[in-house]
Amino acid sequence: MQTLSAVDKIKTVENGGILTPLGFQTGAVAAGIRYTKLDLGVILSEKPASSAAVYTTNLFQAAPIKVTQESIAEEGQLQAVVVNSGCANACTGKQGYEDAVKMRNLTAKKFGLKETQVAVASTGVIGECLPMERIEAGILALSLGKLASDGDSFQTAILTTDLVMKTCCYSAEIDGKTVSMGGTSKGSGMIHPNMATMLAFLTTDANISSENLSLALKQVTDQTFNQITVDGDTSTNDMVLVMANGMAENNPLTPDHQDWETFVELLRASCESLAKQIAKDGEGATKLVEVEVKGAINDSEARWVAKQIVGSSLVKTAVYGADANWGRIIGAIGQSKASLDPNTVDVAIGPIKMLQNSEPQKFSEEQALDYLKQDFIQIFVDLHYGEGYGKAWGCDLSYDYVKINASYRS
């Protein structure tokens, strides 16, 4: 009997989301932060959940991140996360920190939780204080539900310049139990994670400690969220947060567990799906771009080269204009400072070979134009220098990106 790989054990849950795992509820309201739009939401676990997060490396970390770090550090467990859009509560000094703490404490009181079992997240304009009277009234008005519409409402409440909601759901069998993982995220601009440059929330009913959950999250972050870029800017606020409440009742997951790799793949698949959805919904984007690099000296350098290519403004504008200018790809590879032999590089755009062993190949400009007019573009690079492999995702750069960001505050 053939043994299934961890990848093959993962199943997509159609129409699933953050409420598919056992024991989670959500709620959202229009608190008046963003006029009449839904702008304040909460995810609640019915029982304390092991939790882990990764955060932006921007030196100006916003107040909500500091409060969330304090909450997770207390016991490694959360039971709720409260999120607002429309105001980032970043670069707001002592008042901003006090407001983030108050958001946490108001949410804890509303749902009868310990204050340190609540995480806080905010997204929106930097340098403005939260309208706390509206925030407080909004938290008091929150009600919880388990319907798909409740999940949609939460996902809508966290959006800023996003055009669409981002959601995913996967499941796998662990210890004979069905373990589910659902995710949602927001992000459209200021996307160049290291980690992270968006908000992403994942729920799972897996039984795992916060320490091992953190280990798994850090393992997949470099392969997924840290491999997307829209505009090269790293935000002040954003995080990826995972809550695991154990309600699937599998045996505790550790690196020694026979299904550890299955769980890691479940988390990786979820993070990759959300990461790609963010890249596709980049501000002003018309195309999702995926770069695959093999033959690097190691995986880290392969990911580095892939992200250098997908983040190049010249490559991005060429993709937007459907211009098969492979010279821009070569320029980005060389700029990466990766270990390579400049005489052994292959480049292809989709099925069309542009360069082989660093020798230009004849190709049909018409075929290349037709391919580059599609909304999903793949670029393949083989450095022929080692066994390293990596991917990165991004989008094209259009006129609309400038329009959106030129009037963001208005």
Q: How far from the centroid of its chain's Cα atoms is residue 241's Cα?
A: 10
Which two tokens mark 198?
């968006």
**What phi, psi does 166 have (nearest 5°)?**
-115, 125
Q: Could you say which of 197, 221, 229, 262 is catalytic?
A: 197
State the Cα torsion 223-170-23-74 to the nearest 10°: -10
Q: Could you please report the per-residue DSSP string of 218-279?
A: HHHHTTTGGGEESSS---SS-EEEEEE--TT-PPPB-TTSTTHHHHHHHHHHHHHHHHHHHH
197 is catalytic: yes
Give dist(CA 67, CA 121) in Å, integer.
9
Residue 75: DSSP 8-state: H
Q: Is 124 left (phi over 0), alpha (psi -120 to 50) or beta?
A: left
As a whole number of Å, the end-to-end CA separation of the chain is: 62
- Residues 228 and 230: their CA atoms lie apart, in Å, by 7
| Residues 143 and 26 sit within 8 Å (Cβ to Cβ) | no
Q: Around Cβ 318, how many Cβ atoms within 10 Å?
A: 21
d(CA 280, CA 185): 13
Residues 6+ apart with CB under 8 A from 394: 228, 229, 230, 279, 282, 289, 291, 310, 311, 316
Residues marked active site are found at 197
